[in-house]
Amino acid sequence: MADVQSRPFLTGVIEGFYGRPWTTDQRRRLFAQMQAAGLRCYAYGPKDDLHHRACWREAYSESACADLRALIDLCHAHDLRFLYALGPGLDVCYADPEDSVRMAERYAQIMALGADDVALLFDDIPDTMAQADAERFGSFAKAHAHVANEVFARLTKASPDLRFLFCPTPYCSRMADAALGGEGYLRELGEALHPEIDVFWTGPEIISATIDDAHARMIGDLLKRPPMIWDNLQANDYDLRRLFVGPCQGRPSHPEESLSGIFINPNCEFEANFIPIHTLGAYVSKGSAYQSLDAFSEALEAWLPAFASTGDAWTLDEVRLLAEIFYLPHEDGAAAQQLLEDAMVVASRPPDAWGEAEGRLREWHTTVVRIAVKLTELKNRDLFYTFNRQWWELREELELLTQYMDWRQSETPDERFFPSEHLLGTFRGGVVARLQGFLAMEPDGSIKSTHA
């Protein structure tokens, strides 16, 4: 195994999601937030940047180069390394030496602009090999190791200090267990890949609730190097109705012993990422002393000034509420847990058994309406647009819930409740919403057969 201690532990943010890449202004703000959080490296790899993936062979134009150079300079001005990632896997021919040369050329173009490090990504690509590749290499793992080693050798000749990261086709245990990329891919890759190449890993799942020390060590043994975590905990490109504003949590308690670094690949909406970035910084600086709830509270305080308003000032509690509604994929924030419990009580019991849930829900309604107005008054419009859609939906549901409570409590309730504003066709509509109604998911994640 390569010497873990000899190279700096890499920490940072990878812009590695599907969807609209961040703007220069957002990246400028990102760099400032990363620097304040003590992170070290920004990785550029937006899936839908044509040059990154779909048209990876095409060099950048002169004007695009000027923009990239300015971005790299900005990154350096914030004391961050700039890592450029290329994802050629959709149509690369591993056996074609020309393609290795093209890859090296693409990296060289960016290195000439000042980039420090590079990554070669083979995530989310076709799982069948072209005939020429199958004949030459026999396995994906060998093909991948071959091109990575070749490009690594070319680039390190000119830049011996460069850090080279690689993303395998099976990048989590679930994929490896399903033999994505071929049986034994990871072991074969670990053996064949140059020991100085770092390997990305997202944990047991693509979106891992937990990645513990034992898991990291087990993968490290398999890959013959400690994994570089690509953390999708707060990524939301797979379900854009959600936002994940919760803290870094459930990661190895001794990161520097079992990992070579950690990058978060967070929400597509840049403004939703303040807490993920801030708490990642706390996690890497505190190690085993890190407490996610404390880090969350500290991050909220640091975030509050971003809510500068043209109207009434935001309170810390209001920002907390917002963040607790949009928390983490496998866990609701404290406020959301209470809200859901109360809503369940009201929906499943008669009014005389609602207890305190009713009062809390009515208060929720008022608060959510108030925050909806306060969102419109934010000076940072990007922050407003980030949360407005989802908050609007929440407000609609609470309006309905309040009207439902009124109806249940009226002395002679009609037999059926017909909401006056939430109407069939315009409320909760759309093809996807209707499709979602067909196959209900059970609490254990299973889907029952729907016919008798």
Shortest approach of ligand GDL to residue 167 CB, angstroms? 5
| CB closer to ligand GDL, 167 vs 398 | 167
Stretch that binds ligand GDL, among 214-222, 233-241, 280-288, 311-319 (CB under 6 A): 233-241
Stretch that binds ligand GDL, among 26-34, 71-79, 235-243, 308-316 (CB under 6 A): 235-243
Which residues on neighbouring strands pair with residue 230, listed in sequence order? 263
261: enclosing H helix or E strand = strand 261-264
Contact 40, 290 (CB under 8 A): no
Shortest approach of ligand GDL to residue 44 CB, angstroms? 13
Distance CA(300)–CA(305), nearest Å, equals: 10
Identify whether 124 is a catalytic site residue. yes
Residue 16 makes contact with ligand GDL by CB under 6 A:
yes
Report strand pairing: 164-167 vs 41-44.
unpaired
| CB closer to ligand GDL, 165 vs 319 | 165
Residue 230 makes contact with ligand GDL by CB under 6 A:
yes
Distance CA(243)–CA(22), nearest Å, equals: 16
Shortest approach of ligand GDL to residue 412 CB, angstroms? 51
Distance CA(367)–CA(261), nearest Å, equals: 41
Q: Considering only residues 82, 171, 296, 391, which one is a binding residue for ligand GDL as defined by CB under 6 A? A: 171
Residue 206 makes contact with ligand GDL by CB under 6 A:
yes
Q: Which of 124, 212, 294, 382 is catalytic?
A: 124
Q: Considering only residues 10, 11, 12, 17, which one is a binding residue for ligand GDL as defined by CB under 6 A? A: 17
Distance CA(391)–CA(389), nearest Å, equals: 5
Shortest approach of ligand GDL to residue 365 CB, angstroms? 33
Q: Which residues contact 61 (CB under 8 A, 6 or more apart)?
A: none
Distance CA(262)–CA(248), nearest Å, equals: 11
Q: Considering only residues 33, 139, 173, 202, which one is a binding residue for ligand GDL as defined by CB under 6 A? A: 202
Shortest approach of ligand GDL to residue 124 CB, angstroms? 6
Residue 49 makes contact with ligand GDL by CB under 6 A:
no
Q: What is the CA radius of gyration of the chain?
A: 25
13: enclosing H helix or E strand = strand 10-15
Which candidate, 12, 8, 48, places its Cα nearest to that of 27? 12
**Largest pairwise CA distance in the chain:** 83
Q: Between 149 and 168, how does the x/- string for binding to ligand GDL read (CB under 6 A)? A: ------------------x-
Per-residue tokens: 133:
């590749």
Residue 387 makes contact with ligand GDL by CB under 6 A:
no
Length of the chain: 452
Residue 198 makes contact with ligand GDL by CB under 6 A:
no
| CB closer to ligand GDL, 15 vs 342 | 15
Residues of the shown chain interacting with ligand GDL in the complex, contacts defined by CB under 6 A: 16-18, 47, 123-124, 167, 171, 202, 206, 230, 232, 235, 237-238, 265
